[in-house]
Amino acid sequence: MPDRRWRPRRPLRPLPRPDPAERRAVDAWVRVVPGVLAAHLLLLGTLWARPGHLALWLWYAAPIVLSLTTAVLLVASLRSAHRWRHGANVWQVLAYMGLFAVIFTLPVYDPYPSSYDDRPSRVPFRLPLDEPLTVAWGGPTSEVNYHVFLPDQRWAYDLVITREGRTFRTDGVALDDYHAYGLPVYAPAAGVVFAAHDGEPEVTIGATRWGMAGLGNHVGIEVAPDEYLFLGHLQPGTVAVSRGERVTAGQLLGRVGNSGNSSEPHVHLHLQDSMHPYFGEGIPFHFHGYRHEGRVVARGMPEGGRRGGLYRGDRIAHVPAEHAAGGSE
């Protein structure tokens, strides 16, 4: 039978006393955090000072470097955490707060702070189609214009044609199903053609677009000194102008297609201060002489937006010049 006699319990070991050195120690990763915070603040200050093309390099590279550095520091903090027997000390807590401050303020890098935000173009632009249009994307904020984080396309528009909120008939699988497909695209302003690219294939609806030239078949027009207008996603074989040609507002440029990085047939246009695609600062511009909600708008910036899977942006229509005089807005 087992011996049930009382036996004295072993005395409990005293809990280890906190090491004063651990309370004061500053881990290696902690020392880097103030530099990351300082770089973050310096970057924000520089960008919002709108330094022109310097901001392009900072915008494309710096947020990525900051994000990667923050991720590396978080991993380093977790790797070192198991060595600390008494939990994080005050320096580590402050460092974690600094890292999370960087993470939660990364969305401030949207939209791109163009140096032209307060200096819109003075060129009068007409709508590029004569048909009534819906603004899929356009305007000053990411809620109405997903382009705003791209420096060159900060003030871009995507224009579609809708019927009862839908851009296509039947099931929308074929390009011909889209109301805008094949319609003529006209020059929004007079100027000199500096780019006329054709020959890019059209993208099948729903197909992958990786590796496709962003603008696809497109026309570029210098509408004023250092103001370059791009119109993209044109139908292959329809570009009707050539480089060096002077065009007038309303002149045929091509037809609506789905070439390049395009999800469906539409007209994309944006204005920038460089003739090189993807490297330039976007310039805000207004359309002149169009109808919106039954009123003629003499000069305005219509806005886009998408809700419930449908484009809910402004519905607008070109008004011939002889009818646009004395617009009410």
| Sheet-wide strand order for 315-318 | 246-247, 191-197, 217-224, 227-234, 267-272, 157-160, 133-137, 315-318, 287-292, 295-300
Share of the chain above pLDDT 70, in %: 87
Task: Look at residue 141 and tell me whether its pLDDT is greater than 80.
Answer: yes
pLDDT per position as a tens digit, 88-107: 778 888 999 999 999 888 87
pLDDT per position as a tens digit, 280-315: 999 999 999 999 999 999 999 999 999 888 899 999
- What is the structure's pLDDT at 89? 77
pLDDT per position as a tens digit, 32-89: 999 999 999 999 999 989 999 999 999 989 888 998 999 999 898 888 776 665 567 7
- What is the structure's pLDDT at 176? 94
Q: What is the DSSP letter of 15?
A: P
Residue spans of the domains in the chain: they are: 20-108, 133-324
Helix axes 53-81, 28-48, angle to 10 degrees: 160
Compute the radius of gyration of the chain from its Cα atoms: 29
Q: Which of 153-167, 196-210, 228-242, 253-267 has the lowest mean pLDDT?
A: 196-210
Task: Look at residue 5 and tell me whether its pLDDT is greater than 70.
Answer: no
Task: Look at residue 15 and tell me whether its pLDDT is greater than 50.
Answer: no
- What is the structure's pLDDT at 36? 93
Task: Look at residue 21 and tell me whether its pLDDT is greater than 60.
Answer: no
In this prediction, residues 135-148 reach a mean pLDDT of: 96
Neighbours of 184 (CB within 10 A): 15
Q: Which of 4-8, 251-255, 317-321 has the lowest mean pLDDT?
A: 4-8
- List the CATH code of the domain at 133-324: 2.70.70.10
For every residue of 137-188, DSSP letters joined together read: E-SSSTTT-GGGGSSTTTT-EEEE--BTTBSBSTTS-SGGGBTTTT-EEE-S
Q: Which of 88, 33, 96, 94 is nearest to 66 (CA)?
A: 33
Q: Which of 76-80, 120-124, 191-195, 314-318 has the lowest mean pLDDT?
A: 76-80
